[in-house]
Amino acid sequence: MPQPHDLSSSGRSQGLADPADERSNCGVGVVMDLDGAVDHDVVADGLELLVNLEHRGTTGAEENTGDGAGIMLQRPDAFFDAVLDADLPDTYAVGSLFLPRDDDARASLIDLAESTVADYDLEVLEWRDVPTNNDGLGETAVESEPDVWQVAVAPKDDISNEDFDRRLYVARRALENSVEAADIENKERFYVCSLDSDTIVYKGLLKGEQVESYYPDLSDERVESNFAMVHERFSTNTLGAWHLAHPYRNIITTGSSTRSRATSTGCEPARPTSKARC
């Protein structure tokens, strides 16, 4: 007897289920206060949502090494006012970066970052070593674990928010190119998770249920947001990696279903015709 998902020679379903309805994409979700309120409860609800997306993510041979998970939040000004020593101006951004755990390599990359952003009239106000807790992470995640840092950046002159965001983007791309060309050991651990005047990203080679415990910041009541955008990765055509976890700076995507369907039909997935800001 034909199974519900079997296809006939015509390519049509022989049963009640249509194979076109299959879904192999990652888990995504958004929590938002539609009244515009900014509250830690939104963050907490977003983390709860992320835990409940476990069925959309996956692991490899190690049950405690996820394919990747993360959360994007509105920049929590009260929190950064408290944990940073710098006097934060009205216009500033906080970047989230993965850096090597080796002290010398990390120092070289920090120096390169400061000199590169200075070329675009941006000033580094302060670096922050982000508290993390890798208890319970799998061996693969720990072996490839980067050192997570945040950096506060401000313009040296008086510019609009739009011009500031544009300058941040260009500086970030220039920095990535500079790191690529540099002769620095372990530079492959370098990655800019986010650098934006409105948002901040916390992510990693984690399961959804590990994100909050790995990043104690997320349990701090001062970390408030109007929205929480979460992602649990289901890796289909690449192995899991810290930098491949989502959010991707300004977006989350469920592109795996597009890829899997295109592959099964012998088609090439659509490719963007313009550069996206991500």
List alpha helices for 12-76, DSSP H.
40-51
pLDDT tens, residue by residue, 46-86: 999 888 876 544 545 567 677 788 899 999 999 999 999 99
Report pLDDT for 1.
43
Report pLDDT for 138.
86
Q: Residue 169 domain-assigned? A: yes
Separation of alpha carbons 265 and 68, rounded Å: 28
Cα distances from 88 to residues 83, 143, 194, 200, in angstroms, run 11, 35, 18, 16
Q: Residue 14 domain-assigned? A: no
Report pLDDT for 145.
92
Separation of alpha carbons 201 and 277, rounded Å: 15
Q: pTM, whole model, 2 decimals? A: 0.78
Q: Residue 269 domain-assigned? A: no
Which CATH number covers residue 232?
Answer: 3.60.20.10
Q: Residue 272 domain-assigned? A: no
Domain count, the chain: 1
SS3 273: coil
Report pLDDT for 13.
54
Q: Residue 145 domain-assigned? A: yes
- Give the residue numbers spanning the domain of 60: 22-264
SS3 245: coil
**Choice among 26, 193, 267, 278 that is catalytic:** 26
Report pLDDT for 273.
38
Active site residue 26: yes
Q: Residue 239 domain-assigned? A: yes
Q: Residue 159 domain-assigned? A: yes
Provide the 8-state DSSP code for 11. S
Report pLDDT for 250.
64
Mean pLDDT, the chain, whole residue set: 81
Separation of alpha carbons 241 and 143, rounded Å: 11
Q: Which residues contact 30 (CB under 8 A, 6 or more apart)?
A: 46, 227, 228, 229, 230
Residue ranges for the chain with pLDDT beneath 70: 1-27, 54-62, 64, 233-240, 243, 245-278
Q: Residue 163 domain-assigned? A: yes
